[in-house]
Amino acid sequence: MFCTQFLMRTVPLLLLLCLSAGLLLPSNARAGDEALRVTLDKVYLDWRSALLAKSMDAWKRSTSTYRQMVTRNLIISQGQLYPDAIFDLPVTPPEILKLKLLEVEAVGPTAHLLYFGRVDIGLGVSADKIPDNLLMLKFFNENGTWKFDSTKFINLNNSPDIREACLRGNPEFIKHPPFNPPGVLPAVPKPCAKPEKVAALRIEAMGYEVTAHINGYDYPTVVDNAEQQVIIGGLARGDNDLLLDIKALPVPQGEERVLNVQAVMFTRNPKQPMIKVFDWTPPYHPAEPHLKLNVNLNNSSLKGV
């Protein structure tokens, strides 16, 4: 049974973030870093302005090709209207003037801006009660032009050492992954069709690193966590191929590995908003590194498993 609170991966625009042109790099920054910051700053501001103006043309010009397709597929897979849902902004773009820019870094065709401070996304919490956290803005270079890709909010509630390092002005952690651009652009996924059944995959992986592939689409890796991921293109009646790449991770002494994968289908019935149509756990630990499974939708499984 899933008893862990899941994190739903959603369209990146659901966490809108604004950037200030007045932020300065540390005094020891190189001239090239400053030039890159100015460039990425403008790209981000163009992207944000496109969203606020609800301009599809401007949004496409400022957004990476990869993110455009990922956003399209996520919207369609959730049964929403595309492109209308791009501009359905659920939060207020936060004020970034008081955030501290920790780093601007580029590796190959990938780059990011990393900030530290109280990120207010307009949820009604007073500024003095918002804790200091990290915010990363990611960019891709396409044919010599930087495009905005996505945001990553990093909650430091469980990382007091990182928060303290930022407050002291000594964030040595930024020299190591995952605080480095990957250096390689991801492959642009194929466009998905309208889903027959809107669905999601739930992965609970404690002591594991798990990457799922469903019907030809790849999903973000789950590492020592529990997440719910929208199934791109949904599920169809009959067989739905599910491939799992599994890597066992070290676990603290006395703790057990946990691996559970479920597929749930969403309904329009308020009394039963979702139905679990697939549930799998490995017969032994550690699990096999590569598994081919099948999510079969039939009259029986559609009643719930």
Task: Give pLDDT tens digits along the chain (305 positions).
Answer: 444 334 344 444 343 333 333 333 443 445 578 999 999 989 988 998 898 899 999 999 999 999 999 999 999 999 999 999 999 877 765 667 778 999 999 999 999 999 899 987 778 888 888 999 998 999 999 999 999 999 888 899 999 999 999 999 889 999 888 899 999 999 999 999 999 999 999 999 999 999 999 999 999 999 999 999 999 999 999 999 999 999 999 999 999 999 999 999 999 889 999 999 999 999 999 999 999 999 999 999 988 88
Quick one: which of 290, 157, 158 has its CA closest to 211? 290
Predicted pLDDT of residue 81: 94
**Cβ neighbourhood burial of 276 (10 Å; 0-12, 13-18, 19+):** middle
Do residues 237 and 90 both lie within one domain? Answer: no
Q: Is 132 in contact with 167 (CB distance < 8 Å)?
A: yes
Assess if residue 138 is contained within a domain. Answer: yes
The DSSP code for 263 is E
Q: Do 205 and 118 belong together in one domain?
A: no
Task: Look at residues 251, 255, 259 and name the one whose alpha carbon lies nearest to residue 227.
Answer: 259
pLDDT at 119: 81
Do 48 and 115 share a domain, yes or no?
Answer: yes
Same domain flag for 138 and 203:
no
Does residue 178 come out as left (phi exceeding 0), alpha (psi in the -120 to 50 range) or beta? alpha
Is 185 part of a structural domain of the chain?
Answer: no
Cis previous bond, 178, omega within 30: yes
In a domain, 269, yes or no: yes
Last-in-domain residue among 175, 191, 226: 175
Q: Are residues 39 and 136 in the same domain?
A: yes
| SS3 label, residue 40 | helix
Predicted confidence at residue 30, as pLDDT, reads: 58
Total-model pTM = 0.84
Tell me, yes or no, whether 182 lies in a domain. no
Same domain, 157 and 29: yes
What pLDDT, on the 0 to 100 scale, is given for residue 112?
A: 96
157 and 284 in a single domain? The answer is: no
Whether 180 is in a domain gets the answer no
CB 228 within 8 A of CB 199: no
216 and 168 in one domain? no
Please give the structure tokens belonging to residue 187.
Answer: 């492959």
CB atoms within 10 A of CB 41: 19
Q: Which residues are bridge partners to 136 per DSSP? A: 114, 152
Q: Is residue 192 domain-resident?
A: no
| Whether residue 95 is found in the same domain as residue 225 | no
Residues 6 or more apart whose CB falls under 8 angstroms from that of 154 comprise 133, 134, 135, 136
- Say whether both 237 and 294 belong to one domain: yes
pLDDT reported for residue 206: 97
Number of domains, the chain:
2
Q: Please report the pLDDT score of residue 27 as a whole number.
A: 38
Pair of tokens at residue 26: 């540390």
- Give the chain's radius of gyration (CA, Å): 21
Cβ atoms of residues 102 and 114 within 8 Å: yes
Candidates 103, 125, 122; CA nearest to 113 is: 103
Instruction: Single out the residue of 164, 148, 144 nearest to residue 156, CA to CA.
Output: 164
Residue 217 lies in a domain: yes
Q: Look at residues 127, 160, 175 and tell me which one is the last residue of a structural domain.
A: 175
Q: How far apart are CA 164 and CA 134, in angstroms?
A: 12
Q: How many CB atoms lie within 10 A of CB 234?
A: 24
CATH number for position 91: 3.10.450
Tokens matching residue 277: 């149509």
* Residue 189, CA distances (Å) to 69, 74, 148, 259 in order: 7, 11, 17, 27
Is the distance from CB of 210 to CB of 244 less than 8 angstroms? Answer: yes
Domain ranges, residue 76: 7-175
In a domain, 184, yes or no: no
Q: Closest by alpha carbon to 240, among 210, 216, 260?
A: 216
Does residue 25 share a domain with residue 158?
Answer: yes
Predicted local distance difference test score (pLDDT) of residue 1: 40
Do 165 and 281 sit in the same domain of this protein? no
CB 135 within 8 A of CB 114: yes
